[in-house]
Amino acid sequence: MSNSIGLYIHIPFCKHKCPYCDFFSGNADENAFDNYVIELKDKIKYWSEKAKRDVATVYFGGGTPSVLGADRLCDILDFIKFNFNIQNNAEITVEVNPDSAKTIDFEKMYACGFNRISMGMQTAVEDELRLLGRIHSIDDAKTSVERAKSAGFNNISLDLMMGIPNQTIESLEKSISFCADCKVTHISSYILKIEENTPFYKVQNKLKLADDDMQAEMYLRAVEMLDSLGYKQYEISNFAKQGYESRHNTNYWRCGEYIGIGPSAHSFFEGKRFFYSRSMDDFNNNKLSFEGTGGDEEEFIMLSLRLKSGLNYSEFEEKFGYTLPSYIIKKAKEYEKYGYTNVTDKSISFTPKGFLVSNSIISELI
């Protein structure tokens, strides 16, 4: 088994806070950006001395990393490369917002080593973008994808959202077609979740939100349409052209180790799960909070079942030194007749319909 790790860098800044978003991010000025880069480098150095491992994937997430601009992003990546041993074929992703990506220097970012773009597009319907409080337009998304491609990026992911107020199956199909027309390699498609402490939470009764049945209909239609366009589902919410599955995120779902650097960033390293709290001060003081041990059987089962390939019996046995208890396979088989699971002599996996109720089935299995 590989001894390499993933590295996650959190950029907690956004030009504008979207009313549904619960991520640790907010607006800040250029001074704050520069100070944050200094703090990040300090923690990158700390972790490079603590975790002397090859790095297989690097992921800049947020927030909106692209608000930092290409110079700062490349400065951080160069610093990571100097301090960590980044594998030659490492996947190095940066999240961008179509608003800042329409002017960012993609050439510089490609030249310094970023090789994957993840763009928060959400929908290709202008009215839906406005309802979500997004500051970009459909044209911004199109322009940004084209700019990234002409700079050399051939691995681009677009985020889509399902269950947007007033969204219909037809408007969702329009957004999916838009992504396919952009000829991107990867699409993530999430159902809008109303989080506490967000403006959407307070006005949710006034929003025309999709009910559970409508959300399920949208999800199943998205899976079907994406499949027909060559985007194969490999995780509950992720779809890719063959060979373009996100390696960084797949490492999470395979219980691989990773270090997260930045306020609110989580880590799993040497059997322990820990995180930086949602506080800039705690991060600056390198104060970590520990969640406990990780990577046990329950976690492995739960995370494996997020993947379309599911829970593989021999992988379980190899990892834990004993065979997967037969009651789990028996229980999973009971759900097969309802069309929720596929149970073979090698693995248990969910069908798209099963993914919709996977949390409650998993809690029955373990």
In the complex, which residues of this chain contact ligand SF4 (CB under 6 A)? 14, 17-18, 21, 23, 25, 62-64, 97, 120
Query: For 204, which DSSP code?
Result: G
Cis ω for the linkage preceding 69 (within 30 of 0): no
Q: Which is nearer to ligand SF4, 123 or 349 (CB)?
A: 123
Q: Which is nearer to ligand SF4, 162 or 307 (CB)?
A: 162
- Report the nearest approach of ligand SF4 to the CB of residue 313 (Å): 38
Q: Which is nearer to ligand SF4, 4 or 66 (CB)?
A: 66
Q: Which is nearer to ligand SF4, 97 or 341 (CB)?
A: 97
- Report the nearest approach of ligand SF4 to the CB of residue 74 (Å): 21
Q: Which is nearer to ligand SF4, 33 or 79 (CB)?
A: 33
84 exposure class (CB count in 10 Å sphere: 0-12, 13-18, 19+): buried
- Report the nearest approach of ligand SF4 to the CB of residue 160 (Å): 13
Q: Which is nearer to ligand SF4, 120 or 165 (CB)?
A: 120
218 near 226, Cβ under 8 Å?
A: no
Strand locations in the chain (E): 5-11, 54-62, 85-96, 116-122, 156-162, 186-191, 232-235, 238-240, 258-261, 266-269, 272-276, 288-293, 311-312, 341-343, 347-350
HEC assignment per residue over 1-23: CCCCEEEEEEECECCCCCCCCCC
| Residues contacting residue 114 through CB under 8 Å, at least 6 positions apart | 60, 73, 77, 92, 93, 94, 153
- Report the nearest approach of ligand SF4 to the CB of residue 165 (Å): 15
- Report the nearest approach of ligand SF4 to the CB of residue 61 (Å): 9
- Report the nearest approach of ligand SF4 to the CB of residue 248 (Å): 17
**311-312 and 156-162 strand pairing:** unpaired
Q: Which is nearer to ligand SF4, 63 or 163 (CB)?
A: 63
- Report the nearest approach of ligand SF4 to the CB of residue 65 (Å): 10
- Report the nearest approach of ligand SF4 to the CB of residue 287 (Å): 23
Q: Which is nearer to ligand SF4, 237 or 358 (CB)?
A: 237
Q: E strand or H helix at 356, and its extent?
A: none
Query: For 336, which DSSP code?
Result: G
Measure Cα distances from 305 to 119, 276, 320 in Å: 26, 27, 17
| Residues contacting residue 218 through CB under 8 Å, at least 6 positions apart | 162, 163, 167, 169, 172, 191, 210
